[in-house]
Chains A and B, each alone.
Chain A
Amino acid sequence: MIGIFFGCTVLLFEELRSTLEAFFRRARIPYEPVGVDRCCGIPLLLAGFQKEAEENGRRLVEGISQKGISTLVTSCPHCYRAFSKEFPHRFGLSAPFKTLHFTQFVADLIRRGKIRFTKPVDLKLTYHDPCYLGRMGEKIYREPREVLASIPGLKMKEMEHNRDRATCCGGGGLVRAYLPILSSAVAQEKIESQVRPTGVTGIVSSCPFCYFNLKEGAEEAEEGKIGVYDLVELLVRSMEEPQDA
């Protein structure tokens, strides 16, 4: 059985949560929602409360371990970093399950021929590498791109600075909590200097924080609308609703 760690931000926003649920429903993959009442603790860590983050992590890992799941899928790169990096390496917490980011999980399904995306999504987009999935995390660059490449009709173009050198959305490190206007200014700058020169009409991210922050930046942006998409949403658009559902 796989467990889905929705993460506090995805849980809070209906648009993200229902899309993620729709993905699993359309893919006909049963899952167990886990950790729905507890945040991964990255905000504690970023704020400077290391001990509290460790205690929070211990309780989380203990709780999830009792559920008997073999794979934990997180949709938020922050939660992914918590489970894949901080818990085992910083806090020495071992877990009886492996953790995958949503994009890794889907890329694996594609490689094994377990999932297909059939409905065309006629958009031309660029992919935003979230810092915590890429440079600051486990450098997951290939999987999100593989997943996007499997959507029929979708055309992708890279920004000048991508992967290790991708520019930040501006929302990280709790800056959005302290200086939200600065965060959206950074996002706006990214849209003008990185996204617009590619000639695409939108940017897709696989992080809820980047998604909301880029959305705000896009609203501030100068002429010519740039759309902001969540990767899960594009997948769901490309999947058929199951006949028996």
Chain B
Amino acid sequence: MHDTKRRFADFKKTIYRAVDDEVLRSALRKAVISTRENRDKALKLFPQVEEQRKILMEKKEEVLTHLDEMIEKFRAAAERIGFKVHNAETAQQAQKIIEEIVGSKKLIVKGKSITSEELEINKFLEETGNEVYETDMGEFIVQLLGGKPMHLLAPAVNVPKEQVAQVFSELAGRKLPPDPAELTRFAKDFLREKFFRADIGMSGANAITADTGSIFLIENEGNIRFATNAPPVHIAIVGIEKILPTLGDGTLLVEVASRYAGYLAPSYVSIISGPSKTGDIEKVIVWGVHGPKEVHVVLLDNGRREVARDPVLRQMLSCVRCGACMYECSVYPIVSGYWGHTYMGGIGIPWTALIAGGWEVAAPMAYACTLCGRCREFCPMEIGTPEITERLREEMAKKGYLPEYVKEMTQKVLTKGTPY
């Protein structure tokens, strides 16, 4: 109980520090305005998204109500095309699977993947004697700063360019100006060498498709293409909720997720359906031409199957990670990812409680949500985060994980009839 008090007090401190951070607030204001403009433009230019998202909602529901069947379908299809498929029930199991593939003294380049953070994979790989580089610009900055990502799509939304210049300068061993173009050029040169020297490329997936066994990856920088193409081995860490029935459904997700994220179309969509191969020399199949000769798909459960059994909670698994809810939230634009653990913001509450973090960590987050329901209005999957959060608060109240003042107030209602 003492521990609970401390957790709520610590979270409050963190949140209040973020409230007072004027640099953060002005960065977030800019981000809210530009994301909103971009999204509105994308949705206006492609009005069919409205229809597409409804179809996608049905597909997601279909998958989540037949999850085991879908996993088996995907596995069969993926093995047919030469992928190695691994089932991981827990984060620890996933770590172990990855450890066996990777070994030690390897160089690993990573594309942005929040699912991989459920395994704290960077820390784990470094501890097992490997060198790991995040290659998404924002994630790379966050990795160098030793902090945590602050947004799904803009992990370094809170870092000003001067700070980026400082940390890149240290890496470069020379002074770099706080100029976004020059800083980007430095990172590009630095990471280019890593891509080609890397033993293993690691990614997540935006979707995997049960009919073809394909992996869908959406990005704008082109780093994921390098990371999944240049090294001889590719490991994709994928939450089992990412399965969609068909390849066509995968393209549906690309359109919906990217437009809600504010892109007319993402710069790059990779659909990977098998390791690289050629049969051009006397029809002898040789694996690994320009791309990897070995592709592993680690299917991560980590609590998802159980969530999928509950009709209210399973809504959270249809999240396409477009981030639209976050900038439209009342609270997130004030505090950013400080309101979060591995997963952030309102949608981060159930993901923290049930997948990555646990009830104690999620409880202060849950009582920081105003339950205003605005997120749902902007969510392409219409996820009822307030409804989910109310349910989680019930469990938290049972466990005694609630703020002191709220506890006192409810006691007063029960004894005096009013909270005051």
Query: How many A residues face the partner with a CB closer than 8 A?
Result: 43
Contacts of A11 in B (CB 8 A): 418
Say whether A178 contacts B368, CB under 8 Å.
Answer: yes
CB distance from A173 to the nearest CB of B (A): 4
CB distance from A85 to the nearest CB of B (A): 12
Contact with B along A168-204 (1 / 0, CB 8 A): 1011111101110111011001100100000000000
- Closest residue of A by beta carbon distance from B387: A136
* C-alpha gap A179/B16 in the complex (Å): 8
Say whether B371 contacts A178, CB under 8 Å.
Answer: no
B377 contacts partner chain A, Cβ-Cβ < 8 Å: yes
Given contacts A47-B409, A185-B19, contact A171 B370 (CB under 8 A): yes
Say whether A175 contacts B417, CB under 8 Å.
Answer: no
Residue in A39, A44, A173 whose CB lies within 8 Å of B371: A173
Say whether B16 contacts A181, CB under 8 Å.
Answer: yes
Say whether A178 contacts B417, CB under 8 Å.
Answer: no
Say whether A168 contacts B417, CB under 8 Å.
Answer: no
Interface residues of A in 47-65 (CB under 8 A from B): 47-50, 52, 56
Say whether A177 contacts B403, CB under 8 Å.
Answer: yes
* C-alpha gap A131/B329 in the complex (Å): 13
Say whether B15 contacts A135, CB under 8 Å.
Answer: no
* C-alpha gap A179/B406 in the complex (Å): 11
* C-alpha gap A123/B22 in the complex (Å): 33
CB distance from A88 to the nearest CB of B (A): 17
Interface residues of A in 29-51 (CB under 8 A from B): 37-39, 41, 43-50
Say whether B405 contacts A178, CB under 8 Å.
Answer: yes
Say whether B12 contacts A178, CB under 8 Å.
Answer: yes
Say whether A182 contacts B403, CB under 8 Å.
Answer: no
Contacts of B419 in A (CB 8 A): 8, 39, 43
B257 contacts partner chain A, Cβ-Cβ < 8 Å: no
Give 30 A-B contacts (CB < 8 Å), ordered by A residue: A8-B419, A9-B420, A38-B417, A39-B417, A45-B390, A46-B390, A47-B393, A47-B409, A56-B414, A131-B373, A135-B374, A166-B374, A167-B330, A168-B330, A173-B369, A173-B386, A173-B389, A175-B331, A175-B369, A177-B405, A177-B406, A178-B12, A179-B15, A179-B16, A179-B367, A181-B19, A182-B15, A185-B334, A186-B334, A186-B370
Q: A136-B372, A182-B16, A182-B19 are in contact. List 18 more A-B contacts (CB 8 A).
A: A37-B418, A39-B419, A56-B414, A131-B372, A131-B373, A131-B374, A135-B373, A135-B377, A172-B372, A177-B405, A178-B406, A179-B15, A179-B368, A181-B16, A181-B19, A182-B15, A182-B334, A189-B333
- The 3 nearest A-B residue pairs measured at CB: A48-B397, A168-B372, A173-B371
Measuring CB to CB, which residues of chain A are less than 8 angstroms from any residue of chain B?
Answer: 8-9, 11-12, 37-39, 41, 43-50, 52, 56, 131, 135-136, 164-168, 170-175, 177-179, 181-183, 185-186, 189-190, 193
